[in-house]
Every structure is written in C-alpha cells, then in structure tokens.
Amino acid sequence: MSNATTSVPPPTRTAATRNLGLIAIVGSIILALLGLFFTAEDVDQGSSVRIMYVHVPTAWVAYLAFVFTAVCSAGHLWGKKHSLNLDRLAGASAEVGVIFMGVTLVTGSLWGRLSWGTYWQWDPRLTTTAFLFVTYVGYLAVRGLGGTQQQRAKRSAIVALFAVLEIPLVHFSVLLWRSLHQEATVLRPNGDVTMDGLMLFSLIFGVAVFTVIFAWLVLHRNRVLALVDAVELRGIDAALEARRAEEVPS
C-alpha cells in the first residue's frame, strides 16, 4: 500500500472517533506513568503488582464487551425492526472483548509466573476465563458461517445470549471453588476495599482508559462491518442483475 493511501484518514473516522482516539492515547500514557512509576509497590507482591493496572481493567472491560454484545443481540432478536446495526455492534463488541480477554490471559500468565512460579495452572478462575475466551472465539466463528445477513444475526444473537451466562461463573469462581487466584480486591461482596489510595485511583483510571479504547474500537469496527455488509449486498445485487440479463431471450 502506498504512503499516499495510508495517509488518507479511514472512511470510518468522524470528529467523535478522532476525539475518543486522542483521549485513549493520552489516557494510556498517563496510565503507564501511574502504573509503572508513580504508584507504590505492593507489600506482598512487590513491583509485580504493576501488571494489575492492565490485567484487571482488560478483564473488566472484556466482561463489559460481552454484556454489551448480549444486550445488542437481545435488541436485535426482540426489537421490532430486527436491526442489523445492533447485530454489527454485537459482533464488533465481541471482537474487542476477545482481544481484551486474550490480553487478560497473557498478562495474567506473566503475573502468575512472578507470583506463583508458573505460567499456567488449571485453577478455577484461569480455566473458566480460558473457557470464556474460547466461547467468544466460537461466537465469532459462528458469525462467519454462510447465509444471509439476517440469518447470521439471528443465530449469533442466540449464541451470545447463552455465552454471557458464563460471566458470573468466571467472576465468582474464586468464591465457589478453592482457587490459587486471589479473591476480588475491589468488587467484594461486603463492599470493603483494602487498597492504597493512588493504587485504587490508578486501577479505576485504567478501567476508564480501557473503556474509552473499547468504545473507540467498537465505533470504528461497527462502521467497517457496515461497509462489508454494503459491499456484500451490492455484490449480490450485481449477480442478480447479471443472472436476469442472461435470462432475457435473444
């Protein structure tokens, strides 16, 4: 691809996405400064706690992405118009969620190597998280099956509504079973948060930054998917026209 082509802004860009992108970049830089330099080391875990500022926010925003996928899917299934835009939003959100969940698994694995001395254990939290990741990879595979856009939307919406039920299982796995993974530090059932002020602020700030990144990516991806659908419909229309032209008796 030539430099001239890559320098052209993508057709999915608007003022809103440009501003979101800028906020995401500036926020990420501030988060890196907070997480890597300004926050204190943990009493027990030392500097390895710095992985928390990316590991936990990506996990939470991945949950958010999958819940958003389910909400959009429900909107498509039970809405009067059976909106394809809601279906595309669901697909875009699931894609971003899978990326964030993948990041959670990789960063968690590296953190585990430092804390537990191993990259992986078949621990309830780790196993259910991996299962959730694989489920949504499957959801994306279902979206790629053949059929019309309405067929794609309906079958993937049904899968999304079942898949989202796994999230409570993942979140409460550390309470339901004996787990190597620590219990929740912030979202505890009793509401008690035991964390240093700047550490807690950085963690919440990380969640905000990754939420902005999520919104930015989903907006762009939703528009790309709309373009893909439009091109596909034009291709079908062109093929039908060609077939009709062939059927005209000479």
Partner 1 sequence: MKHADFIVISWVLSFVPIALYAWRNARRARQLDPFVDKSDKPWT
Residues at the site binding partner 1, with contacts judged by CB under 8 A: 1, 5-6, 8, 10-12, 14, 28, 32, 35-36, 46-48, 50-51, 54-55, 58, 95-96, 99, 102-103, 106-107, 110-111, 113-114, 213, 216-217, 220-221, 223-224, 226-228, 230-231, 234
Helices 197-247 and 84-115, axial angle in degrees (round to 10): 140
> Closer to partner 1 at the Cβ: 19 or 169?
19
Minimum Å gap between C-beta 61 and partner 1 is 11
> Closer to partner 1 at the Cβ: 160 or 218?
218
Structure tokens given for 53:
């500022």
Give the closest residue to 202 by CA, choosing from 36, 14, 12, 6.
36
Are 79 and 90 spatial neighbours (Cβ–Cβ below 8 Å)?
A: no
> Closer to partner 1 at the Cβ: 58 or 128?
58
Structure tokens given for 235:
């291709």
Minimum Å gap between C-beta 229 and partner 1 is 9
Minimum Å gap between C-beta 247 and partner 1 is 26
Residue 46: what are its φ and ψ, rounded to 5°?
65, -140
Cβ count within 10 A of residue 196: 13
CA distances from 70 to 76, 125, 130, 160, 223 (A): 10, 22, 19, 5, 19
Rounded to an integer, what distance in angstroms lies between the CA atom of residue 54 and that of residue 51? 6
> Closer to partner 1 at the Cβ: 26 or 230?
230
> Closer to partner 1 at the Cβ: 165 or 236?
236
162's CB contacts (< 8 A; 6+ apart) are none
Minimum Å gap between C-beta 234 and partner 1 is 7
Minimum Å gap between C-beta 66 and partner 1 is 17
